[in-house]
Structure 1
């Protein structure tokens, strides 16, 4: 079953252009159509509903503070579920923008997150999750808490999303694999227990913040080495800062590795894989 993965955003937590920065990449990012223009990181995965192939389902991974603009730019007309990687601002603060997309959902739009992330979302958006005196036009969502275990399964409309634990500095957070694609943003390292979940990939998406090492994010050289380790057919880097200029950086990377850019859409097989 074919699916499409769209990068809604590919930037670091401060975005590109970074406020107040006069560097050449940030200047270029202000030019309309520049691939250096990077909003906060998120992806949409679109695929046919297994029970009703004429119906397209849309699953998001994270809703950052740029989600409203991303949804307009990428024609996000509907969302059927959201998976969260962790509770940092650049990954959750757009949750409230799900409101108009959730109103038609009788049972509420399902959100999936581990315990710490769910706690953070419910605290920040208390008015959405409260049981009494609930704000009348709050997003109609319900939280599903996931165990922090490799391979935890979330079955959504005929596709299986597998939790892939990664390290974000000292914090253990989630990446996700679905079919032949894996999305691992905000990672500095991958624990060995996650290795079996990253075999036989068509697409591997990794954090690649900058050229220099960083305490909580993978850098360019390390991400290239991880691609060589797991040997996907193709790889794309995300969560990119203004240290990496899109075209010159792509020119130096191996042919099967590219920097992603906002709005890039990839096709892959979403059929359940044995891992």
Structure 2
């Protein structure tokens, strides 16, 4: 499996509009963070988890010419605002795009993208096949690839992370219950959100994320959904345990399963 980080930033991205802090002024390419998203190439399939407002820019940058499915963690706009751009894949692949999400999230997408789901569609709108994730404990199939849902809380909002083989991806969370932690345990690679140093109402702080990862002890771990308040990539990464790194946009990692 090849994992590509399409975006590793928080909802505002980095740099933040109008901000002149050291991170937002940094010339280090690793400090330029688009909204969070990840691409998986596995078992001959191309799958994206979350299509935020930077989706078009991200897939063009990475040269992703095929997309077999789109999977959503939750309904917040920084994770869904790019869904319209699947039109290019509809045209190229001549088929509807399978979209996987919890029923609540699918209902939100139908409200926000009413023109996609209208009875009488305008020519050229995205074509989707919605597939509800009905059980947050049972493995489901994404175009032949097994996905284990991981239940987390984003403040009081239930969200999903996913485990695919030895890879686990959890973003926009500040609580993982005992069952979720056990589902993640044994992963070779874990990706977890770490917004900033200070506690936050709906995201893990850096120290909270480190504590979770030290307990789970994967071979490798990467932090994502990073804000400018965390600090410059080079300086923060130097303080981390050896097995934990900061993800950055365009980072590509390989895993055997």
Q: Normalising by structure 2, what TM-score? A: 0.96
CA deviations over 1:123-166 (Å, ceiling 9, x no partner): 11111112x22021011211111124223422423x21111111
2:7 is equivalent to residue 24 of structure 1: no
2:132 is equivalent to residue 118 of structure 1: no
CA deviations over 1:1-27 (Å, ceiling 9, x no partner): xx1000000000000000111101001
Native 8 Å contact 2:69 2:142 kept in 1: no
2:145 is equivalent to residue 150 of structure 1: no
Displacement of 1:105 in angstroms is 4.1
Identify the residue that residue 169 of structure 2 maps to in structure 1: 183
Following the alignment from structure 2 to structure 1, what is the Cα–Cα distance between the partners of residues 64 and 95? 20
Following the alignment from structure 1 to structure 2, what is the Cα–Cα distance between the partners of residues 94 and 87? 12
Identify the residue that residue 82 of structure 1 maps to in structure 2: 70
Identify the residue that residue 58 of structure 2 maps to in structure 1: 70
Number of residue pairs the alignment of both structures matches: 256
CA deviations over 1:21-46 (Å, ceiling 9, x no partner): 11010011xx3x61000000000000
SS at structure 2 position matched to 1:243: helix
Identify the residue that residue 233 of structure 1 maps to in structure 2: 219
Following the alignment from structure 1 to structure 2, what is the Cα–Cα distance between the partners of residues 88 and 75? 26
SS at structure 1 position matched to 2:254: strand
Moved over 2 A (4+): 103-107, 154-157
Identify the residue that residue 4 of structure 1 maps to in structure 2: 2
Native 8 Å contact 2:213 2:221 kept in 1: yes
2:182 is equivalent to residue 196 of structure 1: yes
Pick from 245, 252, 261 the counterpart of residue 239 of structure 2.
252
SS at structure 2 position matched to 1:25: coil
Displacement of 1:107 in angstroms is 4.5
Q: Unpaired segments of 5 or more residues in structure 2?
A: none
Following the alignment from structure 1 to structure 2, what is the Cα–Cα distance between the partners of residues 83 and 10? 17
Native 8 Å contact 1:146 1:152 kept in 2: no
2:36 is equivalent to residue 41 of structure 1: yes
SS at structure 2 position matched to 1:167: strand
SS at structure 2 position matched to 1:27: coil
Identify the residue that residue 217 of structure 1 maps to in structure 2: 203
CA deviations over 1:63-97 (Å, ceiling 9, x no partner): 00000111111111111001100000000000001
Pick from 199, 202, 208 the counterpart of residue 194 of structure 2.
208
Identify the residue that residue 273 of structure 1 maps to in structure 2: none
For residues 253-268 of structure 1, the aligned pairs below 5 Å read 253-268=240-255
Following the alignment from structure 2 to structure 1, what is the Cα–Cα distance between the partners of residues 13 and 142? 32
Displacement of 1:106 in angstroms is 4.6
